[in-house]
Amino acid sequence: MLGAAVGLVLAVTMIIGAGAAQAGTLDDLKKNGTIRLGVRADTKPFSYADADGTSKGYMVDICNAVVRRLQANYSLPDLKTQYVTVTTETRFDALRQNKVDLLCGPDTVTLKRREIVSFSVPVFITGAAVLYRADGPSSLYDLRDKKVGVKSATTTETVLRDTLKKLEVNADIVTFNTYEEGAKALASNQISVFFGDRGILVDLLKQSNSDQLKIGDLMLSAETYALGLRRDDEDFRVAVDRALSQIFVSKELTHLLRTNFGDRPPGPILEALFLASALPE
């Protein structure tokens, strides 16, 4: 009987200890008073650093709006924000290693990624597109034996490789660490085309002010962006999704879109995404 009682006490102690060891992000925010946002330096207009080093972009603005909602919803008026720069290669490790609390970049939701991190409800929809010179190839089949550029470590790279393999198009795929490097290589004839996220390519094209570069109508994929979170932290995920749901039905969303994409309307697909992502209480 005594042995059974001791065993019960030990079991209860282990359960309580496990619960204490698994304190979630919300508890950490209340304790530390700071939320760490993982931002990018070079993915304009979604997440980038301006000339002064200030973090800007649609995904950053969405995260800042989420922080404001967290302050209001969870009585955290003094919650501070720390911006931590991550890259395409380091973003998910930074989240898993507890270096950041929320990823605020153009991060596509995939099943493979959901095996290692969690995601909020979708906050944007886009796809893989191609940037090419006016005298460039007119179809994917024309890429045979050509040098084809793509942003490294992205879903676009995966989709591109799979698509060319299915079409039996043998091309020399050249990866680039940044979109700017890829665009420069295209402009200087080092590659025939450059593949990347359509939204980022559109911004690159505007910045280049070149009538020699064009974006193709074909999109290799349709991808949703979401905010990355640590796995097994449902309380924080619900908190973030609650904040996003409030943002998506507010006038604040219109302001965020205009700030980052201009006055052009978001379009029916993006509007439908916002309606679907705005979860009821």
State mean pLDDT over 191-207.
91
134 and 60 within one domain: no
Same structural domain for residues 29 and 120?
A: yes
Same domain, 154 and 273: no
Same domain, 79 and 168: no
Check whether residue 91 and residue 157 sit in a common domain.
Answer: no
Q: Do 197 and 231 have their domain in common?
A: no
What is the rounded average pLDDT for all residues in the chain? 91
Span 202-206, mean pLDDT?
Answer: 87
Enclosing domain of residue 106: 24-125+224-277
> Which one of 195, 221, 247 terminates a domain?
221
Is 14 within the bounds of a domain?
Answer: no
- Pick 129 or 10 by higher pLDDT: 129
* φ, ψ for residue 177, nearest 5 deg: -75, -30
Mean pLDDT of 167-192: 96
Q: Is 108 inside any structural domain? A: yes
CATH number of residue 79's parent domain: 3.40.190.10
Q: How are beta strands 34-39 and 213-215 bridged, if at all?
A: unpaired
Q: Output the pLDDT for position 209.
A: 77
Q: Is the pLDDT of residue 8 over 50?
A: no
65 & 148 share domain: no
Whether residues 162 and 31 share a domain: the answer is no
What's the confidence (pLDDT) of residue 22? 52
Please report, as a single letter, which amino acid is at residue 146. Answer: K
Residue 5 reports pLDDT greater than 90: no
Residues 108 and 241 in one domain: yes
Task: Look up residue 238 and give its two tokens.
Answer: 């619900």
The tens digit of pLDDT for each residue in 261-278 reads 988 767 888 999 999 999
pLDDT tens digits, residue range 16-73?
343 433 579 999 999 999 999 999 999 999 999 999 999 999 999 999 999 999 999 9
Structure letter (DSSP) for residue 186? H
The reply to whether 273 falls in a domain is yes
The arithmetic mean of pLDDT across residues 237-258, rounded, is 97
Q: Are residues 35 and 168 located together in one domain of the fold? A: no
Residue 235: partners with Cβ closer than 8 Å, 6 or more residues away:
24, 25, 26
The reported pLDDT for the residue numbered 18 is 38
How many domains does the chain fold into? 2
What is the structure's pLDDT at 48? 98
* Residue written as token pair 């989240």: 95
In the prediction, which pLDDT does 1 show? 42
- 7 domain-assigned: no
pLDDT at position 11: 43
Mean pLDDT of 203-219: 86
Cβ atoms of residues 28 and 73 within 8 Å: no
Query: Tokens at residue 14, please?
Result: 């282990």
261 with 204, same domain?
A: no
Banded pLDDT at 193 (limits 50, 70, 90): very high
| 190 lies in some domain | yes
Please identify, among 221, 238, 255, the residue that sits at the C-terminal boundary of a domain: 221
* Residue 6 belongs to a domain: no
Residue 210: predicted pLDDT: 80
pLDDT digits (tens, 9 = 90+) for 126-159: 999 999 998 889 899 999 999 999 999 999 999 9
What is the structure's pLDDT at 151? 94
Q: Is residue 19 part of a domain?
A: no
Per the document, the length of the chain is: 281
Residues 61, 148 within the same domain: no
